Chains A and B, each alone.
Chain A
Amino acid sequence: MRLRFWRRRRALVCRDAVALMAAYLDDALPTSDRTRLEEHLDGCPHCSEYLAQLRVVIDASGQVTPADLDDDTLDEFVDLYRRWRSG
C-alpha cells in the first residue's frame, strides 16, 4: 500500500494565535495565516477577548493628547523666530 502524505494545515493553538496578532493588527499577515487566525478567533472567546483588549489599548493610546501649550512658551518662540529671521 502506498503511503499518502496528506498535508493538512494544523489548527492554531492559542499561543500561536497570540503570536500572530501583532502582524494581524498591522494588516501584515499573509492571507493563509490571516485565515487561520480568523478561524481560530471565531471559535476561541479567550483569544477574541485578548485581541479586543489590545484594540482597547490602541484606541486609548490614540486618545492621549499632548499637554496644552502655554502662552509664555508661545511668546518665547515668536521672539526666537524674529531673531532667527533677522539673524
Chain B
Amino acid sequence: MVVATTGHPLDVRCLAVADDRDLVARLQAGDESAFVELVRTYQPRLQRLAESVVSSRSVAEEVVQDTWLAVVRGVERFEGRSTFKTWLFHILLNRARSAVGREHRAPPLSSEDVSERFDANGAWATPPVPWAEQAEDRLVAQHLAERVRELLPELPAAQREVLLLRDIEGVSAPDVCELLGVSDGNQRVLLHRARVHLRQKLDLEMHS
C-alpha cells in the first residue's frame, strides 16, 4: 500500500530547493533581482503563516516586513544547514510569537486522540459515507481545496500552524517539530486533529 504524506510532488519540491539555493547565493552577492524573486515566491506564504499566529492583519504585515529585514541583514551568514524556506519560517515564527507575547505551547495530548464515534466493541457506530472516490474528479478536488482554505481560520491556532506547515507548505515533520518547539508525537496529534476536523466539514458537504 502506498503511504501518502502530503499533496506535493517530490520533484517539484526538489526543484524549488535548488532554485532557492541559487537565489540565496545571488542575494548574498547583493543581487536585487534575487530579492524580488524570493519576495514574489514567499511573501504571500509568509503573510499567511504570520496571520495564523497573530490575529491582526496589520501586525502580521509588520512581522513579515521584520522578517525580510532580518533576511537581508542575515543572509550572508546563512550557510544552508537548513533549507532557505525552513530558515525563513523560523525567523518569521520567532517574530510572530514575540509580537503576540506568547511561546508556542501545545496542549497536553493523548496519543489516542480519536474523536470519531465507535460502539462499545470499538466498531463504527456510524460508518463513514463513501465519497473519497468523487474527489478524483478535478473540479471536485479544486472545490475541496477552496473549502480547506476557507475552513483554516476555524482551526485552533496550534492545529492550524502544524497543518499549514506540514500539508500546505510541505515542511518535513522533523523541521516542523523544531520550528514549533513540539515533540514528534504532539505535532502528529495536532496534525491529525486538524485533518479530522477538515474531514468532518468536507464530509457534511460531500454527502449532503
Contact = CB atoms under 8 A, between A and B. Distances in A.
Interface of A: 13-16, 18-19, 21-28, 38, 41, 45-47, 49-50, 52-64, 66-69, 73-74, 77-78, 80-82, 84-85
B202 A25 contact: no
A17 B117 CA distance: 13
Contact of B72 (A54, A56, A74, A84): A84
Chain B: interface size category: 35 or more
Given A15-B122, A73-B43, A85-B72, A55 B148 contact: no
A41 B6 CA distance: 20
Contacts of A45: 130
A54 to B, nearest CB: 6
Main secondary structure of the interface of A (DSSP, over half): helix
Interface string B151-179: 01000000000010001101001000000
B7 A59 contact: yes
B73 to A, nearest CB: 7
A60 to B, nearest CB: 4
Given A41-B1, A58-B6, A69-B43, A64 B148 contact: yes
Contact of B167 (A49, A58, A80): A58
Contact of A69 (B44, B192, B198): B44
B93 interface: no
B35 interface: yes
Contacts of A84: 69, 72-73
B95 interface: no
A23 to B, nearest CB: 6
A23 B184 CA distance: 10
B7 A53 contact: no
Nearest to B65: A80
A80 to B, nearest CB: 7
Contacts of A63: 7, 141-142, 144-145, 148
Contacts of A56: 132, 135, 144, 199, 202
B123 A13 contact: yes
